[in-house]
Structure 1
Amino acid sequence: MIYEPIWGAIIAWYLFLAGLGGGAFATAVFVRYRHPDCKRLMRVGRLIAPIVVIIGLCLLMFDAAAGFAHPLRFALLLTNFGSVMTWGVVFLAVFVVVALIVLVLDLMKREVPMWLDCVGLVMGLCVAIYTGCLLGVCQGFPLWNSALLPILFLVSAVSTGMAAVLLVGVFYAPDEFNEVVVMKKFHFWLPVIEFVLVAALLFITAFNPSPAGWESVMSLVAGNWAVAFWLLFVIVGLVLPTILECWMLWLAKHEFETSRTGQMISALSDAGVLVGGFMLRLLIVSAAVPITIIQPWML
């Protein structure tokens, strides 16, 4: 029997956009705390957060064949609080409502209460972690069933959220983009941490007692998904952003870093992070091989 994955690119997009939204909101809160004068950049994060999550939810409903035909079925997810999906619905619902309220207040140029930002921050981080837990509870897939996966998805969510805000900000608010040096330095380390977590995840999975773990890792590093893994995820998504940001933040002169050319180089780095963030989800979803279960009557 040939294994055909039940989840594909649509679910990968959903996981990516949900994490990105949570990370974008967290970035807006970070800007408010550390760079309070960068109002436009803060607004970018608040604008991105609810929009991408809502798009992701629409993709999820589309992937669930009866999602649009019988949307009330999703209400059944609120009946089992022992399920990760139920908690995911709660986190997503609260986050979207809070993020929309914050966005409306911002667009009306009214002060957003700090407690509301804190609630959105917590819910956004919960959404990012939930996307990893959604896969992590699937015990039949060694690549998914790891405590590292929620942590990896959380780091990646914050990284892609910051990258999205910075990428839009370099065009929408270039002056403020030059001011958020602290945020850029914080963001620099996230792909490095992500690389370490991915390496640890693959190492642990490869030595899983089931051959499925080894097969999953081999399909990533030397099999069907090797080109996408090494080129689009490792090089474009991790190595290139790290090199470019290291150059801009610590090696380049301040005049060049803040010039339009320097900004475009940073924008290229942020675009690479977004590519890598999506490829991470797509590869994790697509390359996972299930454990083979042999029924006694099959012997």
Structure 2
Amino acid sequence: MSFEPVWGAPIIWYLFLAGLGAGAFVTAAFLAWRHPDAPNMRRVAYVIAPIAVAVGLVLLMFDAEAGLHDPLRFALLLSNGVSVMTWGVVFLSVFMVVSVVALVLNVAKRKVPAWLNIAGVCVSVCVAVYTGALLGVCRPFPLWNNALLPVLFLVSALSSGAASVLLVSVFLHAEEFNRVGVLKKFHFCLPIIELVLVASLLFVTSYNSDAGWMSVASLLAGSYALPFWLGLVAVGLVLPTALETWLLFFSPKEFEESRGAHYISAASDVGVVVGGFMLRFLVVSAALPILFL
């Protein structure tokens, strides 16, 4: 007997892009706070944030067929105040407004107010957590119905968003990239935290039901083992951690700002972004419902 996943590629991309966009805005606010001397990197972050989320929303609408047949269906979601989907629409709508306003102000070379950055960070965290909570309401799926999943998606969103900003900036604004040491060290910690959360999620899920055990088994040694170990663990978590550990703590001082170091950083950031997508792909695809058994 086989089981067809509930959601396909458009939803996976939506979950990934919504998280990445939210993480990019948090990165923009962090740069404004700790690295005011990196205005071009901040602009990169402000550009990525609304574009990534907007593309994700388009994919969501087409997956629900509302973009072609009945666009008012999304407005009806606002009628249920206790629904996760309703709060998701609210969070995403507010995020788009805040992120677009911040981008317009930045492009117009006007200072983005601190209160707007703070509001954007708050709603960004809500968007990132919501992408995990959206899966969690599907109670028959043990891999999704887990309190750790929203936290994992939040950490992954922050990591993917920061990686996307660093990846673009290392090629377009190398001088500023060399100055954002605090951001790099903060970002270095995220894949390590994510690895611990992934292990914890799988451990808890494997013990709560037979369906949970089978979902975990498919990731560790079954049909999804190769993308899990290679795509998520090796490329998305271990490789970036190893590369950044060497760059930040063991590489010669004169090498840190060289072009070679930039290419290594870029490889690390590509790995983080790939890992962010693989996490959503594997969580969505490998989940089995209790009723399936």
- What TM-score comes out, normalization by structure 2 length? 0.98
Contact conserved, 1:21 with 1:48, CA < 8 A, in 2? Answer: yes
Q: 1:231-281, CA deviations, whole angstroms, 9 ceiling, x for partnerless residues?
A: 010000000000000010000012111101101100100000000000000
Supply the distance in 1 between the matched residues of 2:228 and 2:292 (Cα, whole angstroms): 28
Count of residues in correspondence between the two structures: 293
- Structure 1 counterpart of 2:173, one-letter code: A
Match of 2:153 in 1: 153
Supply the distance in 2 between the matched residues of 1:122 and 1:26 (Cα, whole angstroms): 9
Supply the distance in 2 between the matched residues of 1:166 and 1:19 (Cα, whole angstroms): 16
Distance change >3 Å, CA 175–CA 293, structure 1 → 2: closer
- Structure 1 counterpart of 2:157, one-letter code: A
Distance change >3 Å, CA 293–CA 280, structure 1 → 2: closer
Contact conserved, 1:67 with 1:73, CA < 8 A, in 2? Answer: no
Contact conserved, 1:81 with 1:87, CA < 8 A, in 2? Answer: yes
Cα displacement (A) at 1:3 = 2.1
Supply the distance in 1 between the matched residues of 2:292 and 2:175 (Cα, whole angstroms): 58
Match of 2:44 in 1: 44
Supply the distance in 2 between the matched residues of 1:64 and 1:23 (Cα, whole angstroms): 25
- Structure 1 counterpart of 2:47, one-letter code: L
Match of 1:134 in 2: 134
Match of 2:231 in 1: 232
- Structure 2 counterpart of 1:191, one-letter code: P
Moved more, 59-68 or 268-277: 59-68
Supply the distance in 2 between the matched residues of 1:68 and 1:74 (Cα, whole angstroms): 13
Cα displacement (A) at 1:74 = 0.7
Alignment of 1:13-32 (within 5 A): 13-32=13-32
Supply the distance in 2 between the matched residues of 1:89 and 1:73 (Cα, whole angstroms): 12
Cα displacement (A) at 1:69 = 1.9
Supply the distance in 2 between the matched residues of 1:220 and 1:87 (Cα, whole angstroms): 31
- Structure 2 counterpart of 1:267, one-letter code: A
- Structure 1 counterpart of 2:245, one-letter code: C
- Structure 2 counterpart of 1:100, one-letter code: V
SS of the residue 2:178 aligns to: helix
Runs of at least 4 residues of structure 1 off by over 6 A? none
SS of the residue 1:179 aligns to: coil
SS of the residue 1:3 aligns to: coil
Match of 2:280 in 1: 281
- Structure 2 counterpart of 1:220, one-letter code: L
- Same amino acid, percent of matched pairs: 63
Consecutive unaligned residues of structure 1, counting only runs of 5 or more, are 295-299
Match of 1:33 in 2: 33
Alignment of 1:1-299 (within 5 A): 2-208=2-208, 210-292=209-291
Match of 1:297 in 2: none
Supply the distance in 1 between the matched residues of 2:158 and 2:164 (Cα, whole angstroms): 10
Supply the distance in 2 between the matched residues of 1:293 and 1:216 (Cα, whole angstroms): 11
- What TM-score comes out, normalization by structure 1 length? 0.96
SS of the residue 1:71 aligns to: coil
Consecutive unaligned residues of structure 2, counting only runs of 5 or more, are none
Cα displacement (A) at 1:293 = 7.0
Supply the distance in 1 between the matched residues of 2:267 and 2:204 (Cα, whole angstroms): 32
Contact conserved, 2:66 with 2:72, CA < 8 A, in 1? Answer: no
Contact conserved, 1:256 with 1:262, CA < 8 A, in 2? Answer: yes
Supply the distance in 1 between the matched residues of 2:114 and 2:292 (Cα, whole angstroms): 51
CA RMSD of aligned residues (A): 1.0
